[in-house]
Each structure stands twice: as C-alpha cells, then as structure tokens.
Chains A and B, each alone.
Chain A
Amino acid sequence: MSNAVKLRADQLEIVRSGKKVLGGISFDVASGEVYALLGGNGAGKSTTLLGFLGLLPLSGGSIFVNDIEVGSDLKKVREAIAYLPESVSLYEHLDAYENLRYFLQLAGTPYDRSKVEAALDRVSLDLESRGRKLTGYSKGMRQKVAISLAILRDTEILLLDEPTSGLDPAAIDEFHDLVRDLASSGKTVLMVTHDVYGACQVADRIGLMQDGKLVGEFTAADGERIQTETVHRAFSDRHPKNPQVA
C-alpha cells in the first residue's frame, strides 16, 4: 500500500437545513486503501461523501482530494473521483450501453465498446439485459451498471455509498472481490455502509460514525473487536437490537 494520501478530511463540519450533520470529523485515506465509514442512519456517512464531491458547502474545517482543497478546483476534484450514489440513479429510458455512453461522454472518457463489454462482464451483468431499457432492471442490476461506469471511468478514487444495498449475497461477494481487485490495482476506495460484516471483509480500515462524529477507527485485523460494544454503540440509537451487532 502506498502512503500517498488521496482523501483527507480535517475537522470537517457540514450543516444541512440548519442542523449540524457533521461535527468536525478528521480522517484520511491513502492510495490503494479501502476505507469504510460504518454507522447507523443519520450518522453523516453519505454527507461526508457529498462533501468530498464538493456538492455541499462546508461550515467548518477543510477537505482535500489529491491534496487539492475541494472548492478551489471542483473540476479537477470531480475528474479524479467516480461516485456511486446510495440510490443508483440512471436513465430509465436508456439501456445499459446508452447509459454508460452518456455518462462517459459527460465525464470526457472515450466510449470503447469492447471495454464496456469487459466492464459489464466484470460486474456479471447478463448479456441479454444489456440492450434492454433500465425500466425492467432490478436494483442489483442497476447497481452493476453503475459500478461498471465507475470501472470504465478508471479514476484514482471511488466513493461508494451503500454499494451492496439491494444486492443478493452472491453479488455482494462478487462486489467485494471487485473492490479488493480495484484497491490492489492502486485505486483508493471510500465506501459508506451499514453492513458490519461486509465492511470487515473488504475494508483496510473502518471508521465508526455516530451523530456526525467519528467515534472510533479500526483496521481489518480488529475484526472481532469491531463487532463488540463500540459498534453496538454506533447503531444503538436506531437499532438497539441489531442482530448483526449482537
């Protein structure tokens, strides 16, 4: 793993609709590292990702992508990032190829049909679905198209918001393998999830968030420890009897 820091939040504060959603969190993610932000609903995980994308104004602290302060050069920041939102939003009236072509065009990435097929193979989207409009796609299939877009953009950094939500267990395993592959090829991955087991399986480091604060940080080696009290605390507000944490 390289030591070059690709993502850095320093005392990051964000206020949304008058409410402090992030209350001064600090962490960094290095090149080739998979960092998972783990926490319950409303912990501020997705807001952190939007902050890295420059889609929300900061009310305090600072945030850097490739040592560029987000906001000083949004274009460069966004060029370096592929973002997979929580609810995968693609165009219903387009098929998988058309969606990929459009988003790649917008990102300034040339459309190469053979690379597109390879990316769709990699996410295991079946051949016959690829030419169909997304109207009939399951959530998992949409997720696959969105992930293939992230692969095709070939950016240094991937921001993944609940990437395995809606996927079946086999697809989740495949996805985790894919993320590990990407990280081993030097990509930096910051993902947010509620899935403690999945986070332990795929992330090099896990940051625990609660009420807009980073309340703990673990490495994969701390797997046992993660599933104890601290995690319980992170989810306790909303899921006091979460079976995954028990």
Chain B
Amino acid sequence: MKTALTIAAEEWRYWIRSKLALAVIALFAVMLVSVSWVTVLRMQAASAELDHHQAEAEETFVAQPDRNPHRMVHYGHYVFRSPVPLASFDPGLDSVTGQAMFLEGHRQNSATFSASAASGDPGGLSWLTPALTYQVFAPLLLILLGHSAVVREREARVLPSLLAQGVSGRSLMAGKILALLVFILLLLVPLGVIALLAVTTGESLMAAAALVGVYFLYLSVWGGITVLLSSAFSKRSSVIAALAAFWLMVTLVLPSIAVNVASVTAPLAGKIEMELAMLTEQKDLSDGHSVSNSQVEQLSAELFQQYGVNRLEDLEINIRGLLAQKAEEKLTLAMNAYADKRMASELRQTELLTAQGWLTPMIAVAAASRAISGTDMQHYHRFLRQAEELRYDFVQDINQVHAEQLSYVDDINRNRDEESYNRSRVDAANWQLLDEFRFDTASASSRLASAGTPIGMLLFWLAVLFALLTWTGGRLKP
C-alpha cells in the first residue's frame, strides 16, 4: 500500500508539473462549473415558475363564482410538476415528458410542457446537463489525464528500473489507479455541492449521497479502463487510439444502438393508435352526457326503493349527479387500464434499455442517476398517477355536489330561461373541495431500490476490471 501511495503521489506531481494536464483540468472545471451553475439556475427558475403556476391555477379554480357543477367538471384544472431537487443535476426524462397537465371530466390528457419549458431553450442547448457532462466528458478527462499512466513509464524505459526496485506490476497499477481515484474525488466536488444544495431544498441526504456514490463508481470504472489500456500497449499513440475508440463506442455508439434496440424489441403503440383503440372500447360506455335508458332505469329503480318514492323529481338526491359519478367511475377504469398498459410498455422498453448497461457503463450510470434523482420513467408515471388521482377525486366530488346540492328539477330545466339557469348554479364555496397538488417523489430508499440493478451493473464492471487489472499487473513486463 505504501508503494502504491508513493506512486500515486508521484503521478500527481507529474500532472501538476505538466502544463497540458493543468490546462485540461482547468478547462473541464470551467465547463463543469458553468454547466452546473446554469442548470441549477434554470431548474430553480423553472421550479419557482411552475410552483407559481400551480398556486395560480388552484386560486383560479377556487375563486370561480357560483356555477353549474358539471360546468366546473369541464372547466377543469391544471397541475404542474416542479422539478425535484436533484433535477438540478440530472433532469433525466423531465425534458421530454412534460410537466403540465390539464385535468377535466371524462378525459385523461397527456402531459405537456409549460410555456417556460417550451420556450426556454430555443437553441436546443439544454441537453448539456451536469449529469451528461459527468457521463460523457468526465471519462474523456480521465482518459486525457491517465492514458499515459503506465505506457509513459514503458516509453521512457523507466519501467525496468521501477520493477528492478522491487515494485510489483500490481503495486504500480494500484498506484496509478489511486492517483486517478483522488482526481475522481476532486471531479465529484461540483456534484457534491449540487447534492448538498438539493438537501437544503428538501432532498434526502441518503439519495444525495447515493448519487455522488454512483458517479464515483462510474468514474472509477473509467479510471480502471484507462489504466488497463495504458498498460496493454507499448506506445502512447496506440493507447490514445484504443481509449478514444472505446470512449466513442461506450458513450455515443452503444447507447444510441441500445435505444434503437429497445424501441424495436419493445415497440410502443402510438398515442393516436392507442386513443382510437380506447375510444372504440369506450363507445359502449357513457360519459354522463348521454346516459342509456337501461342505466337510468336500473338506477331509478334502486333509488325509488331506497327513498320510497316513484318519481325522479321526488328523490332527495339528483339522479343526474349519481349517473355522472357512475359513468365517470366506469370510464376511468377503462382509461386506467389503457394507461396501465401504456406505462407497462414504456417500463418494458426502459428495462430493455437499462439491461444494456451490462454492455456499457454509461447506460447503467444514466439509469441509476435518473432513478435516484427522481427523473426516470417511473417518476413520470408517478406524476401521471398522482395527477389522475387528483382529477378523479375532484370530478367525483363535484359530481357528488351535483347529486346533493342541485335538484333534479332545476337541473333538467336549466336551459329554460335565465332564472332557471341561475337556479342550476351551486354555491362557489363548494370549489374549496379541490386538493392542493404537489408532486411527491418516491422515498429515497425506494429510489435506491429502483437503482439497484444499474448499480449492480457498475459493480460488475468494477469487479471485471479489478480481475483484469490484477491479472495484467501480475504479468506486467518492461
């Protein structure tokens, strides 16, 4: 261990005295800090704006005057998903899945983008996030800095002298890796700062620490690959060529192929195609506007028996509100079935993509990073489910108000004249029934559990590299 520490310290001295190395480090530091800073500011601005929109939407809804309850069902409501704290580091799928949704009766609308998100990146530059910088560019820096670790000793013919001092090949490799590991820890400082900022805005310390840990594993994989290939060739140019090819494959080519493989292997039905299929199935279901005679007759008979009357006008409750409730319930069950099916397909596709993390650590780290940050597909589905829960609750609560506070007679006569219409309105105080919406991420432990498989992949990569480095170190020749 002492020998490895000595070699690591010497490697650092070499880097510090090499102006090129310092220039590369400085360039990357500027890039990382600026990208991190811009992303943090962007997320904070988006968060403030979406929270403002959410509060405004809620205020607008509850401030509505006396209205016919069914008009309020269609008046609808907006929900907004504010970025989770760690989205400042890894916005993940947030940039492609939308953060706003219009909720109304009888429909499950798609998430769309808020005006700010849609117009905030006219140049398409927002793709460069701190997470992507770590995933794609940090390995490049490790390559630039570490590619010569072993081959430099060989080219300068120092290797025989080192080995002759009693330094084993394994100690030499360990020392070089140790030097890179210290550098990796420095690289992780900006991520640590972002993670701490996230903790101050409500993120769990466990999730923040896990995110830093995941990137440490990922960059350690790259450190191991760099030293391994540096020891495998006798010329620096060969090492650079091999590492550059490997980097291209792992960070650009394979992820691109992986996405295509996943979408071909588990294709998603198009949204229009899916909605047409759902409409076909729903044609027999009522949305409450066109209730079939049989449904009315069946419910009327039940209510007549319950209330001991034989006319709808004599019921203490408005059958139209109840019919709307029942119709909404059935329709929601059908819509949920389709939504579940679609989510299952999307998850299957995501799982297929993640499985290719066995081939490239970049896919593994991206999957783990999104899961821990709360910006993965599961969290998008979580948003859809939470929005749907709110939609269903407020629509059914309004239908309940419709049944209880608007008489059947006033309801069916609402279009007779203005006075009749006014009688079909209910008190605006009822709109207070709307619950506040704040997107609630999964617990840190649950997110970590979701990231379990990709973390396992990174550990697998490290185990393989450890074995290869140990084997190569034992056979290192001048």
Contacts and interface: CB of A to CB of B under 8 A. Distances in A.
Interface string B152-163: 000011101111
Given A102-B10, A106-B3, A89 B156 contact: yes
B426 interface: no
Contacts, number: 63
Interface stretch (B52-60, B107-115, B164-172, B238-246): B164-172
Contacts of B164: 53, 55, 78, 81-83, 85, 159
A139 interface: no
Interface residues of B, number: 22
A75 B166 contact: yes
B341 interface: no
B311 interface: no
A50 interface: yes
Given A55-B160, A89-B156, A106 B14 contact: no
The 8 closest A-B pairs by CB, nearest first: A83-B164, A78-B166, A89-B157, A107-B165, A89-B158, A106-B165, A105-B6, A93-B17
A107 B166 contact: yes
A103 B168 CA distance: 13
Contacts of B161: 83, 85, 89-90, 103, 146
Contacts of A50: 160, 478
A106 B158 contact: no
B7 interface: yes
A92 B17 CA distance: 11
Nearest to B152: A91
A79 B163 contact: no
Contact of A78 (B156, B157, B165, B478): B165
Interface string B1-17: 00100110010011001
A91 B158 contact: yes
Given A55-B478, A78-B165, A78-B166, A106 B160 contact: no
- Categorize the interface residue count of chain A: 20 to 34
16 contacts: A55-B164, A78-B164, A79-B166, A83-B161, A89-B156, A89-B158, A90-B158, A90-B161, A91-B14, A92-B156, A93-B13, A93-B14, A102-B10, A106-B166, A107-B166, A146-B161
Nearest to B159: A89
B18 interface: yes
A110 B161 CA distance: 18
A243 interface: no
A55 B477 contact: yes
B72 to A, nearest CB: 76
Given A55-B160, A79-B166, A92-B156, 17 more contacts: A53-B160, A53-B163, A74-B168, A78-B164, A83-B161, A85-B157, A87-B157, A89-B161, A91-B14, A93-B17, A93-B18, A94-B13, A102-B10, A106-B6, A106-B7, A107-B165, A107-B166
Nearest to A77: B166
Interface in A12-65: 50, 53, 55-56
A169 interface: no
B17 A103 contact: no
A71 B158 CA distance: 21
A146 B168 CA distance: 20
Contacts of A79: 166
A106 B167 contact: yes
Interface in B5-63: 6-7, 10, 13-14, 17-18
Contacts of B162: 106
A89 B162 CA distance: 10
Contacts of B165: 78, 103, 106-107
A212 B167 CA distance: 28
Contacts of B168: 74-75
Nearest to B167: A106
Contacts of B14: 91, 93
Interface in B101-133: none
Nearest to A105: B6
A68 to B, nearest CB: 13
A156 to B, nearest CB: 14
A90 B159 CA distance: 10
Interface string B84-101: 000000000000000000
A82 B158 CA distance: 14
A157 to B, nearest CB: 11
A181 to B, nearest CB: 22
Nearest to A102: B10
A93 B15 CA distance: 10
Contacts of A102: 6, 10
Nearest to B158: A89
Given A93-B14, A102-B6, A106-B7, A83 B167 contact: no
A83 B163 CA distance: 10
Contacts of A91: 10, 14, 156, 158
A8 B165 CA distance: 20
A102 B160 CA distance: 15
Most chain A beta-carbon contacts within 10 A, residue among B156, B163, B166, B167: B166
